[in-house]
Amino acid sequence: MKSNLMHLVPPVSRDRKISQFPKWYTPEACLQFKEHFHAQVRTACQQSTGTTRLKISKVVVVGDLYVGKTSLINRWDTAGQEKFKCIASAYYRGAEVIITVFDLADIQTLDHTKQWLEDALRENEPDSSFIFLVGTKKDLVSDAVCERTELDAIRFANEMQAEYWSVSAKTGENVKEFFSRVAALAFEQSMIKELENTPGRIAQIGEGNLIKLEKDIMEISEDNAQGSLTCC
C-alpha cells in the first residue's frame, strides 16, 4: 500500500528542491541563525538512495478572518464558523509548525495573534512546534507603514518566541523564501528525531522530496460566526 501511494506523489520541480539552508527574514526575529543543515542530517541525505518515503510535517495556520491566510496557503479555511470550534483541538494537536498570520494593513489583527497562538499551543507539548509570525498583504502598504508595523511585529515575535516574516501573496514577495524556511526547519527536526530513535540506521527520505507540508487552517471566532465556507 505504501509503495502504491508513493507513485501517486508528483515529482518535485527543481525550484522547490532545497539544497542550502534557507536564510531568515530579519535577524531581529529569527529562530536559528545557522547557515547549514545539521551535520548528521547532511550525512543521512547523502547516504540515502532510491525511493523510500516522504517526510511529512503538520503545519497549522491561524489568524483573524481576511488576513490573507488562504491566499498565502491557497487551500481552505472555516471562515470563523462557531460550529468548528469543537474540532479546533484536533486540528491544533500535533502541530510541528504553527504559523500565526496578520494583515500588515490592519494593526488590530496583529494584536490578536497572541491569542491565536495560545489556543494552538494549548493542544501541543511545550517547545514541540516551530512558531512563525507572518505579516501578509505587504503590497498594500507603503514602505514607511510596513517598517513601522514591522517594529511592533518583531516585538510580538520575540515575545511569542516566533520567527517573523513579511510577505505578499499577490506579488509573491518572500513567499517561496518563507515556505522554504518552514520546510527546511521542519524537515531537519523530523530527521534529527528519526536519527535519534534509530541509531546506527540511515533515516529514510523520499526521493527528491525534502518535505510535504500538511496544512490545517482554523478560523474560530467567538463573536463572528459565519454561515458558509469562504476564502480569506
The secondary structure of residue 170, as a DSSP letter, is T
Asked whether residue 98 is domain-assigned, the answer is: yes
Cα separation, 194 vs 129, in Å, equals: 16
pLDDT value at position 41? Answer: 79
Average pLDDT score, the chain: 75
Cα separation, 11 vs 137, in Å, equals: 30
Q: Copy the grid coordinates of residue 21.
A: 539552508
pLDDT category at 91 given cuts 50, 70, 90 is confident
pLDDT value at position 187? Answer: 87
DSSP string, 174-203: THHHHHHHHHHHHHHHHHHHHHHHSTTSPP
Asked whether residue 80 is domain-assigned, the answer is: yes
Other beta carbons within 10 Å of 174: 18
User: Is residue 166 a contact partner of residue 158, using CB atoms and an 8 Å limit?
Assistant: no
Specify the pairing of strand 97-103 against strand 130-136.
parallel
Q: 203 lies in which domain range?
A: 53-217
Task: Say yes or no to pLDDT of 111 above 80.
Answer: yes
Asked whether residue 152 is domain-assigned, the answer is: yes
Mean pLDDT confidence for 55-84 = 68
Asked whether residue 75 is domain-assigned, the answer is: yes
Cα separation, 1 vs 81, in Å, equals: 36
The share of the chain scoring above pLDDT 90, in percent, equals 37
The total number of structural domains in the chain stands at 1
Which element (helix H / strand E) includes 144? helix 143-160
Cα separation, 186 vs 123, in Å, equals: 18
Q: Copy the grid coordinates of residue 126.
A: 511545550
pLDDT value at position 6? Answer: 40
Between the CA of residue 74 and those of 29, 54, 171, what are the distances in Å? 26, 21, 14
More confident call, 191 vs 172: 172
pLDDT category at 157 given cuts 50, 70, 90 is very high
Report the C-alpha dihedral over residues 88, 90, 93, 97, rounded to 10 degrees. Answer: -60
Mean pLDDT confidence for 46-73 = 73
User: Is residue 84 a contact partner of residue 218, using CB atoms and an 8 Å limit?
Assistant: yes
Question: Helices 113-121 & 143-160, crossing angle to 10 degrees?
Answer: 30
Q: Copy the grid coordinates of residue 129.
A: 512546534
Comparing C-alpha atoms, which of 72, 47, 65, 117 is closest to residue 230? 65
Q: How do residues 32-44 score in pLDDT, each as one tens digit?
A: 898 888 888 778 7
Asked whether residue 196 is domain-assigned, the answer is: yes
Strand partners, 135: 102, 166
Asked whether residue 198 is domain-assigned, the answer is: yes
CATH number at residue 157: 3.40.50.300
Asked whether residue 40 is domain-assigned, the answer is: no
Q: How do residues 196-217 score in pLDDT, each as one tens digit?
A: 776 655 555 443 333 333 333 3
